[in-house]
Structure 1
């Protein structure tokens, strides 16, 4: 455990706490609350006393049925004899379930860099090895480099699309090629799709598990935390090959016994929310995104911003003599704006910053980016 990186979010939150008035562009959360249908479903839960007891390890039947319908309609993923759904306490738990089920100690999991820090941390915690593979200048996977990284100890390639931390959306052809590599080499494709609904400018999200013949080697991870404002409710789910169900049942029963049933009821209610609930919130975030991208044009020419088509992040490359963590600390202390240093995402060669804007109003976003741009200009001269 001593070799695992210290979680960056609590560190940044402590710095924010010590600097009142800081605008948070750090943690990946949304500003809106769960839909009314989710709140109403909790009342249904309370009306059934038997639901306060342990329930099925993989999730309550009516939620599994609701998720199956959603997967068919929104992701073109069909649940049949060869795959199944497992509800978890968030997609982070789903990821940990998956890698515990498919690895021996010392095995390798390939991550596209920049990676999601909790993935890298989880791999290390189970005594396996993350293998970072650098993406291209636009943060898209490099297929040839992924092929080269595969060894006899490789058990999976992980993709995140829409991406955290870059906001990049991988096109279907790239995901199909990665999925094919996994099929050919006998490893798994772990697809993290927590931001599936957050895409802009008619860009479409693709689920690798929708590809023909992908079921035996594809593990898909989904979350309600962002989509329905459920961050603290801890509900997500995974779609797995049926052959992985026995080990995952052991893992989940040991760790969790069953997903929190009150949150499962809320999740079922959320899935029945009117389509306008999500479309209106994503449209509001899209306006914030446009405002931020406009203001980021005022950054010095030495800064690089790849325009993101998804999630609610921007990833900046900054030319600076400061380390990215030192720059983050100075931005909080002097300019009252908080972002995440790129080193948390495996970017150790250069100075990178992740901006998160999902929780901001237009007004706060404007003020926060103004502070960020001013700080970068004055601290990197």
Structure 2
């Protein structure tokens, strides 16, 4: 555990508490809460005393059934005897389940940099080795580099689209190519789709598990945290090859016994509302996004910003010799605005910042990004 990086969110949270009035562009959450149907489903939970006892390890049947319907209609993924749905306590648990199920100590998992820090942490906790493959200058995947990194110890390639931390969305053609590489090398393709509804400028989301005959080696991860304002309820789900059901059942039973049943009832209500709930809130997120991107244009001579057509993140490369964590501390302490340092996402040889704007209202976004721009203009000459 000493080799695992400490989570950055609590560190930044402490700095924010020490500097009252700081506007956070740090943690990736949305500004809205769960839909009415999610809240309305809670009383149904209390009507049955059996709901206060342990339930099925992989999730209650009604929730898994509506998830299967959603996957079929929206993602083009059919649930067959060759695959299965497992309800998890959030997307992070789905990833941990997958890593523990498919690896032995010393195995390798390929992740693309910048990576999502909890993925790297989970790989390290499993006593495996994260193999880092750089994305290109616009944070898009490099399939040839991914394939070149595969060894006899490789167990999986991890992709995230829309991406955290960069906001990049990977084209269908690229994801198909990565999935084919995994099939060819007899390894798993783990694909995180937590931000599936957050795409802009007409960009489409693609689910690799919809590729015909990909069920035996494709693992898909989903979360309700973002789309349904559900972060603290800790509900997500995964689609897995049928042969992983037994090991994942063992893992989840040991760590969790079952996903929190009251949250599963709320999730059932949320999914009955459907993706239209998230889509209703997208115009506000888009308006905030426009404010952020317009303001960042003032930093063109000090920062490089790649296209970010998904999620609710921007990933800035700052043209300075300062270490990114030192820059983050100065921005919080002097300019009362918080972002995350790129080092926690595996960036090297440069100063990078991740901005998250999903939790902001327009007025707060304008003030927060204004502070950031002022700070960087003053600090970076």
TM over 0.5: yes
The separation in 2 between residues aligned to 1:110 and 1:57, in whole angstroms, is 29
Is the 1:293–1:307 contact (alpha carbons within 8 Å) kept by the matching residues of 2?
Answer: no
Per the alignment, residue 268 of structure 1 pairs with 268
Superposition deviation, residue 211 in structure 1? 0.8
SS in 2 for 1:364: helix
Counterpart mapping for 1:155-194 below 5 A: 155-194=155-194
Superposition deviation, residue 326 in structure 1? 0.1
Structure 2, unaligned runs of 5 or more: none
The separation in 2 between residues aligned to 1:318 and 1:117, in whole angstroms, is 20
Structure 1 252/13 Cα, relative in aligned 2: closer, same or farther at 3 Å? same
Superposition deviation, residue 302 in structure 1? 3.2
The separation in 2 between residues aligned to 1:85 and 1:35, in whole angstroms, is 23
Is the 2:220–2:238 contact (alpha carbons within 8 Å) kept by the matching residues of 1?
Answer: yes
Per the alignment, residue 20 of structure 1 pairs with 20
CA shift digits 1:187-237 (9 cap, x unpaired): 000000000000011111000000112111100000000010110000000
Per the alignment, residue 328 of structure 1 pairs with 328
The separation in 1 between residues aligned to 2:373 and 2:167, in whole angstroms, is 19
Root mean square deviation, CA, Å? 0.8
Superposition deviation, residue 349 in structure 1? 1.3
Counterpart mapping for 1:206-221 below 5 A: 206-221=206-221
Structure 1, unaligned runs of 5 or more: none
SS in 1 for 2:59: coil
Matching of residue 124 in structure 1 with residue 124 in structure 2:
yes
Between 1:281-290 and 1:29-38, the stretch displaced more is: 281-290
CA shift digits 1:84-138 (9 cap, x unpaired): 0000100100000001000010000000000000000000011000001000000
The separation in 1 between residues aligned to 2:287 and 2:102, in whole angstroms, is 41
The separation in 2 between residues aligned to 1:256 and 1:57, in whole angstroms, is 8
Is the 2:302–2:380 contact (alpha carbons within 8 Å) kept by the matching residues of 1?
Answer: no
Is the 1:300–1:377 contact (alpha carbons within 8 Å) kept by the matching residues of 2?
Answer: no
Per the alignment, residue 148 of structure 1 pairs with 148
SS in 2 for 1:296: helix
The separation in 2 between residues aligned to 1:203 and 1:105, in whole angstroms, is 39
The separation in 1 between residues aligned to 2:80 and 2:156, in whole angstroms, is 23
Per the alignment, residue 38 of structure 2 pairs with 38
The separation in 1 between residues aligned to 2:127 and 2:275, in whole angstroms, is 43
Is the 2:66–2:268 contact (alpha carbons within 8 Å) kept by the matching residues of 1?
Answer: yes
Is the 2:163–2:195 contact (alpha carbons within 8 Å) kept by the matching residues of 1?
Answer: yes
The separation in 2 between residues aligned to 1:147 and 1:140, in whole angstroms, is 15
What's the TM-score, normalizing by structure 2?
0.99
What's the TM-score, normalizing by structure 1?
0.99
Superposition deviation, residue 143 in structure 1? 1.0
Per the alignment, residue 10 of structure 1 pairs with 10
Per the alignment, residue 371 of structure 2 pairs with 371
Is the 2:88–2:235 contact (alpha carbons within 8 Å) kept by the matching residues of 1?
Answer: yes
Counterpart mapping for 1:246-325 below 5 A: 246-273=246-273, 276-325=276-325
Superposition deviation, residue 276 in structure 1? 4.0
The separation in 1 between residues aligned to 2:342 and 2:334, in whole angstroms, is 20
Is the 1:109–1:155 contact (alpha carbons within 8 Å) kept by the matching residues of 2?
Answer: yes
Over 4 Å off, 4+ runs: none
Per the alignment, residue 48 of structure 2 pairs with 48
Matching of residue 202 in structure 1 with residue 206 in structure 2:
no
Superposition deviation, residue 307 in structure 1? 2.2
CA shift digits 1:1-40 (9 cap, x unpaired): 1111111000000000000000000000001010000000
Between 1:311-320 and 1:293-302, the stretch displaced more is: 293-302
Per the alignment, residue 352 of structure 1 pairs with 352
Between 1:370-379 and 1:272-281, the stretch displaced more is: 272-281
SS in 2 for 1:30: coil
CA shift digits 1:238-258 (9 cap, x unpaired): 000000001001100000000
The separation in 2 between residues aligned to 1:274 and 1:212, in whole angstroms, is 25
SS in 1 for 2:298: coil
**Number of residues of Structure 1 aligned to a counterpart in Structure 2:** 381
Counterpart mapping for 1:83-94 below 5 A: 83-94=83-94
Is the 2:162–2:311 contact (alpha carbons within 8 Å) kept by the matching residues of 1?
Answer: yes
CA shift digits 1:52-90 (9 cap, x unpaired): 100000000000001000101110100001000000100
Is the 1:24–1:337 contact (alpha carbons within 8 Å) kept by the matching residues of 2?
Answer: yes
